[in-house]
Chains A and B, each alone.
Chain A
Amino acid sequence: QVTLKESGPVLVKPTETLTLTCTVSGFSLSNARMGVSWIRQPPGKALEWLAHIFSNDEKSYSTSLKSRLTISKDTSKSQVVLTMTNMDPVDTATYYCARIRGAVADYWGQGTLVTVSS
């Protein structure tokens, strides 16, 4: 059974750095055909892809947010970590991690709402 679960702070202050962890089960982060992406969704708005990490540790980032994002993984812990620097109220959103198999997100975490406010 494949599951993903996001964890991290529910509230961060402007200018702070956000660190989110995605803990996966039911598959290995070293599986060649799979990777994990982070995707966010501001309240009432559309989905926005942020970053992806492949099984071989290669990474790709949203062009518009690349300077603020870092994605990494710890295969032994089955965890993928996303950091986003210099948080702003416009970054308030539900943050999802999702398994990417081929070209699609076939399994998603439940999401975690992060609010940016002083």
Chain B
Amino acid sequence: EIVLTQSPGTLSLSPGERATLSCRASQSVSSSYLAWYQQKPGQAPRLLIYGASSRATGIPDRFSGSGSGTDFTLTISRLEPEDFAVYYCQQYGSSRSLTFGGGTKVEIK
């Protein structure tokens, strides 16, 4: 079973700064099956990125995803106040299961 490890656990940044979030898989993951979600307090997660690098409908272009194999990155080019949240990566496995990472909290510095 693939394990996804996200780092850092918490990222303290100011609005306007660049955020770089990492998701590392315990074994190679198909890029087609790697996604990122944003979750704000009291809300359900929202799909941001699918296929490692494709933005979901309505997602601003300041969000971008990259990576392959075991290392994937979510980048927020310039943090807006509404971007402070928890971010999760997710992969879809060969056993037709989903696995989520432990999350990265992006907080206001």
Residues on A facing B (Cβ under 8 Å): 37, 39, 46-49, 52, 54, 58, 60-63, 96, 98, 100, 102-106, 108-111
Q: Which residues of A contact B96 (CB under 8 A)?
A: 52, 54, 58, 60
Interface SS of A by simple majority: strand
- Report how many A-B pairs have Cβ atoms within 8 Å: 64
Partner of A106 from the list B1, B32, B56 (CB cut-off 8 Å) is B56
Report the bound CA distance from A22 to B1 in whole Å: 27
Extra pairs beyond A52-B98, A103-B50 (19, CB < 8 Å): A37-B98, A39-B98, A46-B101, A46-B102, A47-B37, A47-B39, A47-B88, A47-B90, A47-B103, A60-B96, A63-B97, A102-B50, A103-B35, A103-B92, A104-B47, A104-B50, A106-B47, A106-B50, A109-B44
Is the Cβ of A62 less than 8 Å from the Cβ of B97? yes
